[in-house]
Structure 1
Amino acid sequence: MTVRTPSFPITPLLPEICASLDAQPRLVLEAPPGAGKTTQVPLALLDASWLSGQKILMLEPRRIAARAAAQFMARQLGEDVGQTVGYRIRFESKISAATRVEVVTEGILTRLIQDDPELSGIGVILFDEFHERHLAGDLGAALALDVQATLRPELRIVVMSATLDGERIAQWLDAPRISSPGRSYPVRIEHPPARTQESIEHQLARVTRQALSENEGDVLAFLPGRREIARTQVVLQQALDRDDVEVVALHGELSLAEQQSALSPAEPGMRRIVLATNVAESSVTLPGIRAVVDAGLAREPRFDPNSGFTRLETVNISQASADQRAGRAGRVAEGTAYRLWPQSKRLDSARTAEITQAELSGLALELAAWGSAALPWLEPPPSGALAQARELLGQLGALDLDARITALGRRMLELGATPRLAAAALRAPVELRALIADLLALMEARSPLRGEQARSDDFRLRVTALHAWRDRHAASGRSGADAGALAAIEQASKGWRRRLDVRTSASGVPDSHAIGDLLLHAFPDRVARRDEANPLRYTLANGRGARLHDQTALLGEPWLVALDLRFEARDSLILAAAPLDARVLERDYPAQFRRERVLRWNDERNAVEAFEERRYAAIVLDRRSVPVKPEDALPALLAAIRIKGIAALPWSENARRVRARMQALRAWMPELGLPDVSDTALLESMDDWLAPYLNGKRRLDALSAEELSQALTSLFDYEQRRQLDAQAPESLTVPSGMTRRLEYAPDEPPVLAVKLQELFGLADTPRIAGGRIPVTLHLLSPGGRPIQITQDLKGFWERTYPEVKKELKGRYPRHPWPDDPWTAAPTHRAKPRGT
């Protein structure tokens, strides 16, 4: 086949790439932006002997890049897209029977493998821009490797990337590694400082004007999302006072014509400022760029397990992405990259794999369809997130009790929507299929509402805006919505209508409950019922609380389905919801409605209460009090103690001391085998030692201190109690003949507080626990004030006592202060008067 091959840095390596794939079926190719890997490698492989007329499948993470790559390769062949080179992306396909190179997006690849595990007619799969580590890309690579290992050993797999950890990938694939230079010129890096209280849009607009004045050619500016691009576009158009500069946007929500316009060269005599998301990082060619302005931000999906929602969050880019963006300035000549963050700021070296931080219900459904999760992953999915995803799929009816895919689950995969939305679409009545197509498109897009309406939490307004635009093609200023956003949503809705075999579009204002009644099948765990005491507060079906904001448009609605939530510590904030008819819940989810007897612990009464409740999932619909059965009270009492802690029991002072002594002696003399009476051990063993004394009781305060002491005593036998009294006595008899209490504390020797005169004649410190533990003496004055703390009584008599005697003899003249405390008679009394 004749290919008009322009010169690319990768061109000299094409024979080596072909030879490597002749010899072995896997290859890792590292090539920076501009090297030509995306468009030159597929065409170079067309005449490979091992291909034998089969297709080349190339995976691109983004639709813009997939179209652009196919168009560039087709031009090289002098053909139109859809002949030798074609592409397939969501809702759009340009292929024919003659197509040999097919560029697909990530979801398309997964469907191809699931539908035909042998990948009949496909000779090689190229994974382009693998460093972006999208979830679907990781899954596609793992599935392809599994196919190669079990069904198609001759299938070739090539992993390509501009910023790839090549050594790690090569080890994972057990593949050779080829590296190509890029086409690049030197790029100067600048870090212009931000100004006080300057928004990202104004900072980027200011630096972009600076880049325009300091450099020739066009400027590419990176922003995290469409909203920031629109704001910056307004700022720039107001600030630029020249007719030779055009400001254009480039992001994934533009129409095909708008995307192609952004990728086209500027008109002669004109310069361009291209405001782009990270779609412009790689795979697409932007001619004429000499300067890059980088906000250092990207919008990526983050799954919040607390709310169960995936939200797009603005995050810092990695160093690899920053280098790749900067490289765009050096593709045609020397250039400059302006980074809008301090030079001292350190970025993560590479992008985090999406599989580690995404909601995994789609992945779990694919794995169930494949029949195994034991794939050759580069990075396996987290087990906790995967288990949570399977639980959701069970609620949606996609998996059975054994986590096997159901017939509904297979239909959900075929539809191609997320599992939640697919479940709603497939359960929609035929007459509402057009409306559900609109809901799928609206749920996947950002809200098209603008101005005051943009703050509304009533999702129905978005549907009304779409239908009004469709019916009357209302201008955005009149409808309160963005006409461009609505046009993109309409295109997506057309795609869903084709998938759902719907020939007409929905129009007018739907019934007030129609939207909620449809979407509750996507979010059965997000059904919410209004709190009777607080009209802004709701209880969700999963048991969590949620609230409406003060200016809500949904005030008074008894039932809602929450479509978007912001997780907060107490009650999540409902950002978008739709009312629903509770009768639809009873019709479609009868198993979730049940009547059951439940026990509650009343903290104020310190007692167990019993109720009969009617529920939908975790939402209590009605409740009535019923008598507490004796067999029910005991588990509830034990559960309350576990929550409140062992200190909630009525411990007597004597019982506390026994526990302290037992724990101390257990540590000092482990050979005695004494029971563990720590808080943790007692809580864990309550069924054995405490339950018999709680049996028949309904209130915690019905347990007396005496009963608790008996329960504690039941933990040790006579010999253990004898050892306790002998080795860790409650008190000691001192030389004065008086009995003084020992105080025990965790991890400390016991303390004996005693007046100095009571120890006359005692040479050594008393010891317990078989002589292992010296008692800590708190020596007191005749007035009971501390004089000395010591474990060395002999040293005290020898060194400290003479000073103490000198100081205190005058203050306490009626108490003995002998010169020789070793031989003096101990006493706890003062001398008789007159002596």
Structure 2
Amino acid sequence: MDPADFPIRELLPGLLSSLQAHPRLVLEAPPGAGKTTQVPLALLDAPWRGDGRILMLEPRRVAARAAAGFMARQCGEAPGETVGYRIRFESKVSTRTRVEVVTEGILTRLVQDDPTLEGVAAIVFDEFHERHLAGDLGLALALDVQSQLRPDLRIVVMSATLDGAGLASFLDAPRLTSAGRSFPVNVAHFPARRDEAWNVQLRRCVAEAMEKHPGDLLVFLPGRREIDLAQAALTALPGDIAVLPLHGDLSVDQQSAALASDPAGRRRIVLATNVAESSVTLPGVRVVIDLGQAREPRYDPNSGFSRLETVAISQASADQRAGRAGRVAEGWAYRLWPQSQRLEPMRTPEIAQVELAGLALELAVWGSDALRFPDAPPVGALAAARELLRRLGALDDSHRITPFGRKLLALGTHPRLAAMLLAAPTPDAAALACDLAALVEARDPLRERSDALATRWQALAAFRAGRPPGAAHRGALAAIDAAARQWRRRLRCDASPPAQVPPHRLGDLLAHAFPDRIARQHPGDPRRYQLANGRMARLFDDSAVFGEPWLVVTELRFEARDSLLMRAAPVDEAGLARDFPDRFFEGDVVRWDAQSRALVSRRERRFDAITLGSRPAGRPDPAVAAQALTDAVGELGLDALPWTDALRQWRERVRCLREWMPELGLPDLSDAALLESRAQWLLPAFAGKTRLDALDEQALGEALKSGLDWSLRQRIDSLAPRRITVPSGQERPVSYALGSPPVLAVKLQELFGLADTPRVADGRVPVLLHLLSPGGKPLQVTQDLRSFWQATYPEVRKEMKGRYPRHPWPDDPWTATATHRAKPRGT
């Protein structure tokens, strides 16, 4: 397409004008509008740019390379001159480069390495609707740089399917929308037959579409495995056609072939993952066939593991995929799911459903958690990530980054793999670690299931020796071999990978990546393993690692009872003792025993949470016992303590005053706060005790009040009194509950002569009066006693006088004498 024909061209003057006046902008433009390739080039002419570079973030490597190539051709140049790109393990930039297309991880490194972003005039976030974690982090970092250091930095966020209004509000930015230019797309659902496999349904749909409609076909599938199955199913179709895959694991030449017209003029069927959903252009596509699925990472909070899952796409993705058929002429889109199936409107942000170790490490390096994310990272997932980083040695106990953590970050991969790569003691071990990093990151190259990681490495070694096993995919092994070479180059490792190693050598290295998943065989069940993090895992019935006393587990699948061990390697106990001496422990351990409701003291040998040996010990150390009882309350909850009604009410009085009179500075006595701070107030109270029930009510009360000095305790009693003296001369109790007014229950006759409702908290809060009959039954609930005497009392008097004749019911309650007694007999 001629650049002048892109619909976005009409919007470019307004875009430049907006960025002249405001440093942020949200741009919505549908697929085919030209935003990816025209906006960065237009920014080169902006007066505020000076000689600064334009960074454009592309979520996918295929799209980054393609976008840079298209823009370079517009400039009459090759990539690396005015327009260049940087992706993982590949870079085409020079000192002349002014538009640089980068993938998400590259942007994060650029910002972390130079927070001032010297020489960068603008950052463009393309296809932001994909909501990858690295994209959200990149935007949060860019906003922080802009607000703290570079108010002149321009930030443009672009997308085809996005809540533009919400994002513009979040960014406090103008919003521009391009109508785009596309042709009509006829959408139809292609039903599956009963019990029909999806690849058979796809073959029927492709055959029908090729017969009815012109042009090339683009088929959306969730991953490489499905692409391979579809390619096998479609190869035998009649006619002169080309069936081409398109996914991120292909070589540059293979990707280029899918993105270009067939040189022989044949019709093409392109089998693509959602890499083809946006940014890249496939010429000649008139038909889209969509399985309606994508492979996305999901975080399981119960197991703490992330894994790729095949999930239904969002409605926004379905619309965008269908739109690919209408880029050059009228098109057709076939959906291979029932029309009755409803999709979620938008894609769930990755930050809400993935493991966050990499993010936690980036935040530690940045030195602040106060970044503005479009969606904040979940608290639980972030805490789990920080615990993993602490195990790896990347964070200290205060969550500050360590020198080792900075080394991990510099490698630009998941902290687990970086820890393994840096732990290799020799060049030979480093070469083996590079193999393992490539294997762990890659999809499984084996055709048949095996839980032995050694089987995969042996297949890789056989591939290098020219004798790949028939049970493995040659293409997958070639990709793993290439990734391992890239890692060796990155580490400046000149050693060749070994041709043969004992399986435990793999485990010895992997233990540095998965210290929480080092596992020991259960002494009573050889198919179960206890992990260093305290969880349990079990083997497949036909496990290839059955019988190994120690394993390191690289992949687990959570199930209801135990995790299922998907992939592991044996590890040598002597190697663990050598590499992780601080993880081994021997000493007395005091624990709470729920059955006996007492402490149990044992001498234990452990590796992290794995018990290696245990025998009874003597009387526990008093300090250890007090800590164990305090920990037990953390597990059992505050109800395990000997609360009295008076003490519960004192706690509620403090909580209410904290809300009514914040200037007092009273402590937070909520359940969560008390449990969090139990080491400060409860631990001293357990000194010298070995049972929970040894703590009495008086000791608990003193512990709870220990943070308050005498004068503040007196103020609490004054401002939130336990009892109030009513006009009858009697003291009546006041009941307090956070979130509700204090309640004073009193017989109506005891309030004669009182005009206004009693108040607490220095007169700020009226009590809620429960006015009772002489028999103690409720007559009225009010916070306005004056209104009750005026409007309601006459009706109450009329009804109650006959029922309680021995009690006073004066016509004028304002002047009557208050009493708590009945009238004397005969009066």
1:304 partnered with 2:295: no
What's the CA shift for 1:181?
2.0
Q: Residue 467 of structure 1 is aligned with which of 458, 461, 466? A: 461
Paired AA for residue 440 in structure 2: M
Specify the code of the residue in structure 2 equivalent to 1:303: Y
Instruction: Summarize the alignment of residues 635-714 of structure 1 with structure 2, pairs less than 5 Å apart.
Output: none
Q: Any residues of structure 2 matched to 1:788-799 within 5 Å, and which?
A: none
Contact 1:420–1:522 (CA under 8 A) maintained in structure 2 = yes
1:444 paired with 2:441, answer: yes
Q: CA deviation at 1:194?
A: 1.6
The question of 1:515 aligning with 2:506 is answered yes
Deviations 1:326-379 (A, max 9, x none): 000111111111112222222111111111112111111111111112123222
Instruction: State which of 481, 497, 513 in structure 1 corresponds to 2:488.
Output: 497
Match of 2:418 among 414, 417, 422: 422
Partner of 2:16: 18
Distance 1:97 1:645 in 2: 63
* Cα displacement (A) at 1:595: 1.6
Q: Hey, what does 2:659 align to over in structure 1?
A: none
TM-aligned CA distance change 1:597 to 1:128, over 3 Å: same
Secondary structure of the residue aligned to 1:50 is helix
CA RMSD of aligned residues (A): 3.7
- Shift of residue 308, structure 1, vs aligned partner: 2.1
Are residue 259 (structure 1) and residue 233 (structure 2) matched? no
Alpha-carbon shift at residue 557 of structure 1 (Å): 0.7
Q: Hey, what's the Cα distance between the residues in 1 that align with 2:575 and 2:344?
A: 49
Maintained 8 Å contact 1:397/1:406: yes
Alignment partner of 1:36 out of 25, 34, 38: 34
| Matched residue, 2:735 | none
Residue aligning to 1:655: none
| Alignment partner of 1:379 is 2:370 | no
Q: Name the CA distance, whole Å, in 2 between partners of 1:629 and 1:224.
A: 58
CA-to-aligned-CA distance 1:146-196 (integer Å, 9 cap, x gap): 111222221111111111211112122222211112231001110122211
Name the residue aligned to 1:361.
357
Match of 1:123 among 113, 121, 141: 121
Q: Which whole-Å deviations, capped at 9, do the CAs of 1:197-240 have from their partners, x for residues lacking one? A: 222222222212222222111111111111111111111224x1
Contact 1:127 1:159 in 2 (8 A): yes
User: TM-score under structure 1 normalisation?
Assistant: 0.75
User: 1:480-508: per-residue Cα shift (whole Å, max 9, x none)?
Assistant: 21111111112211211111111243031
- The aligned residue for residue 199 of structure 2 is 201
| C-alpha contact 1:465 1:479 (8 A) present in aligned 2 | no
Residue 480 (structure 2) pairs with residue 486 (structure 1): no
1:83 and 2:74 aligned: no
Read off the aligned partner of 1:137 and give its amino acid letter: G
1:610 alignment partner, one of 580, 586, 601? 601
**Distance (whole Å) between structure 1 residues aligned to residue 437 and residue 690 of structure 2:** 56
Q: Assess if the C-alpha contact under 8 Å between 1:470 and 1:507 holds in 2.
A: no
Report if the CA contact (8 A) 1:608-1:628 is conserved.
no
Match of 2:559 among 555, 561, 568: 568
**1:625, CA displacement in angstroms?**
1.9
Q: Mark the CA change 1:638 to 1:485 in structure 2 (over 3 Å): closer, same or farther.
A: closer
Q: d(CA) in 1 for partners of 2:51 and 2:169?
A: 30
SS in 1 for 2:525: coil
Counterpart of 1:68 in structure 2 is 66
- Over 3 Å counting, the alpha-carbon distance change for 1:602 and 1:398 in structure 2 is closer
Larger mean Cα displacement after TM superposition, 48-57 or 637-646: 637-646
**In 2: Cα distance, 1:529 partner to 1:271 partner:** 56
Q: Does 1:105 align with 2:96?
A: no
| Bigger-Rg structure (1/2) | 1
1:514-535 deviations in Å (ceiling 9; x for gaps): 1111111111111100112211
Q: Tell me, in whole angstroms, the C-alpha distance in 1 between the residues paired with 2:195 and 2:6.
A: 45
- Matched residues in 2 for 1:100 and 1:502: separation? 33
1:212: which partner in 2? 210
Larger CA deviation: 377-386 vs 461-470: 377-386
1:392 aligns with 2:393: no
Q: In the superposition, relative to structure 1, how do residues 4 and 629 fare at CA in structure 2: closer, same or farther (>3 Å)?
A: closer
Is the CA contact 2:56–2:123 (under 8 Å) kept in the aligned structure 1?
A: yes
Shift in Å, 1:629: 5.1
**For 1:159, what is the secondary structure of its paired residue?**
strand
Say whether 1:457 aligns with 2:451: yes
Tell me how far apart the structure 1 counterparts of residues 376 and 597 of structure 2 sit (CA, whole Å): 48
Q: Is the 8 A contact 1:425 1:433 kept in 2?
A: yes
Q: 1:425 to 1:640 in 2, by over 3 A?
A: closer
Cα distance 1:443–1:639, how it changes in 2: closer, same or farther (>3 A)? closer
The one-letter amino acid of 2:78's match is: D
One-letter identity of the residue aligned with 1:515: L
For residue 322 of structure 1, what is the aligned residue in structure 2?
318
SS of 1:521's equivalent in the other structure is helix
Q: Secondary structure at the match of 1:423?
A: helix
Deviations 1:385-433 (A, max 9, x none): 2222122111111112222211111111111010111111111113211
**Which residue does 1:547 correspond to in 2?**
538
Contact 1:595 1:613 survives alignment (8 Å): yes
- Aligned pair in 2 of structure 1 residues 580, 368: CA closer, same or farther (>3 Å)? same
- Within the candidate set 226, 232, 235, 2:233 is matched to 235
Deviation (angstroms), 1:5: 3.2
* CA distance in 2 between partners of 1:175 and 1:439 (Å): 45
Work out which of the residue numbers 217, 220, 223 in structure 2 matches 1:222.
Answer: 220
Structure 1 stretch displaced more, 3-12 or 162-171: 3-12
**Alignment: residue pair count:** 682
Cα drift, residue 630 of structure 1: 9.9
Partners of 1:412 and 1:236 in 2: how far apart?
45
Distance apart, 1:441 and its partner CA: 0.9
Q: Deviations over 1:632-651 (max 9, x none)?
A: 889989999998999999xx
Would the aligned equivalents of 1:148 and 1:154 in 2 still touch at CA under 8 Å? yes
| Structure-1 separation of matches of 2:46 and 2:93 | 21
Are 2:144 and 2:371, in contact at CA under 8 Å, matched by a contact in 1? yes
Secondary structure, in 3 states, of the residue corresponding to 2:7?
A: coil
1:581, distance to aligned residue in structure 2 (A) = 1.1
Percent of pairs with identical residues: 59
Q: Which residue of 1 aligns with 2:25?
A: 27
CA–CA distance in structure 1, aligned partners of residues 434 and 376 of structure 2: 34
Q: Which residue of 2 aligns with 1:824?
A: none
1:339 aligns with 2:335: yes
Q: In structure 2, how many angstroms separate the alpha carbons of the residues matched to 1:637 and 1:83?
A: 68
Residues of 2 paired with 1:356 and 1:526: CA distance? 23
Q: Retained in 2: the 8 A contact 1:189–1:338?
A: yes
Between the aligned partners of 1:349 and 1:361, the Cα distance in structure 2 is 29
In structure 1, the residue corresponding to 2:249 is in which secondary structure? Answer: coil
Please tell me whether the aligned partners of residues 193 and 342 of structure 1 are also in contact (alpha carbons under 8 angstroms): yes
**Equivalent in the alignment of 1:163:** 161
Distance change in 2, residues 1:389/1:773 (3 Å): same
Within 2, Cα distance between the matches of 1:646 and 1:182?
61
Pick aligned residue for 1:189 from 165, 187, 190: 187
Q: Deviations over 1:547-570 (max 9, x none)?
A: 111101111111101110111222
**d(CA) in 1 for partners of 2:625 and 2:396?**
36
Q: Distance in 1 between matches of 2:263 and 2:80?
A: 28
Structure 1 pair 278–642 and aligned structure 2 pair: CA distance change class (3 A): closer
Q: 1:286 aligns with which of 279, 282, 287?
A: 282
Structure 2 CA distance, aligned partners of 1:405 and 1:647? 38
Q: Secondary structure of 1:324's partner? A: helix
Q: CA separation of 1:566/1:697 partners in 2, compared to 1, >3 Å: closer, same or farther?
A: closer
Q: Which stretches in structure 2 are left out of the alignment for 5+ residues? A: 653-670, 700-771, 779-827
Instruction: Give the equivalent residue in structure 1 for 2:752.
Output: none
- In the other structure, the counterpart of 1:826 is none
Q: Classify 1:600/1:367 alpha carbon distance in 2 versus 1 (closer, same or farther; 3 Å).
A: closer
Tell me which moved more, 586-595 or 117-126: 586-595
Corresponding residue SS for 1:19: helix
